[in-house]
Amino acid sequence: MPFFKRNFRLNDFITYPHAFVIGCIADKQVDADIAWLTPYNIYTQVESFHIKDLAKIELNRFREIMDNSNPKHRFHKMVAEEIHCGIKNIMDTYNGNAANIWGGKPSCAVVAKRFLKFKGVGPKISSMATNILYRDFKVPFSDYSSIDISADVHIQRVFARLGLCSESATVDEIIKIARSLHPQFPGIMDLPTWEIGKYWCNSNVQACSQCYLREAYASSKSTTPLQDKEQHTDSMNRYGSQQKKKLNRFLSNDQRSGD
């Protein structure tokens, strides 16, 4: 049976929408590759991956599965409990079909709130989940303004180096900056910024020559940390003009047919 390993495919998403929810639940304090292997690790250790069969599995069995997974999640015991609760939530609240979480073209805010009802899912993961649904799986929403950027360490680093915020900026401050840059869809800059921080602008190596925001970074180094509103706006506009060139690839395909 075809199934994802490191990346979800569209057929997997349609057949096993609960796998997406499981991946989101597991995506915390470990490398993304480890987190998103969790559905596959469960799949290989059970007789059936259908939601009704997963709902019959006891918590102790989920603990065994997570403990035997390779690679093992850093918080495998905690995630096992959260997945167990998540499957129950899907069965009780969404009639055994995780696609009902995002089906019917709801607002992105509603979908994010639904994800927040899952144990172990906070604002960062709920925003990430909603963003992936739209960006990668072309799930239609009635609006996109509530899809925020998921400000992890990579995004925080890039924003600070661009002069958009101080190195000690809070997650809330970074979210507000992203909203100012792209009010109609703040989360659109999540993946490109994360990729910059992960591959070109990490804590040890700065491959500036490969980064399409190098000009914005160079100009930000010649100024002091942003203090007043006017400086802040100028820097956001400079960053936005560079970023939007890359981000337009996501906006250009606005046909959310799911095919």
Residue entry with tokens 């703040």:
186
Position 216 scores a pLDDT of 62
Burial class (CB in 10 A: 0-12, 13-18, 19+), 75: middle
CA nearest 62: which of 88, 86, 83, 34? Answer: 83
Which tens digits make up the pLDDT trace of 12-64? 788 899 999 999 999 998 888 888 889 989 999 999 999 999 999 999 999 99
**Residues 103-147 pLDDT 10s:** 999 999 999 999 999 999 998 899 899 988 988 888 999 988 888
- What does the pLDDT average to over 165-171? 86
User: Please, how many CA atoms are within 13 Å of residue 85, restricted to the half-sphere of its CB?
Assistant: 15
- The CATH 1.10.340.30 portion of the chain extends over 10-135
The predicted pLDDT at position 14 comes to: 84
Q: What type of residue is 240?
A: G
> What average pLDDT is seen over the chain?
80
10-135 belongs to CATH 3.90.1150.10: no
With bands split at pLDDT 50, 70 and 90, how would you rate the model's confidence at 246? very low
Lowest-pLDDT range of 119-123, 165-169, 213-217, 225-229: 225-229
Cα–Cα distance for residue pair 256/86, rounded to 1 Å: 27
More confident residue, 215 or 24: 24
- Express each pLDDT in 53-94 by its tens digit: 999 999 999 999 999 998 899 999 999 999 999 999 999 999
- pLDDT, residue 167, reads 85
Cα–Cα distances in angstroms (integers) from residue 191 to residues 66, 118, 243, in the given order:
28, 23, 11
pLDDT at 218 over 60: no
Of 45-49, 134-138, 210-214, 224-228, the least confident: 224-228
- The alpha-helical segments, DSSP class H, found in the chain are 10-15, 17-26, 32-35, 38-43, 51-54, 59-68, 76-93, 108-116, 123-135, 153-161, 171-181, 190-195, 214-221, 229-252
Find out whether 84 and 4 touch, Cβ atoms under 8 Å: no
Residue percentage of the chain with pLDDT more than 90: 39
Answer yes or no: are the C-beta atoms of 151 and 175 closer than 8 Å.
yes
Work out the pLDDT band at 189, boundaries 50, 70, 90: confident
- For residue 228, what pLDDT band results from cuts at 50, 70 and 90? very low
Angle between the N-to-C axes of helices 123-135 and 108-116, in degrees from 0 to 180, rounded to the nearest 10: 130
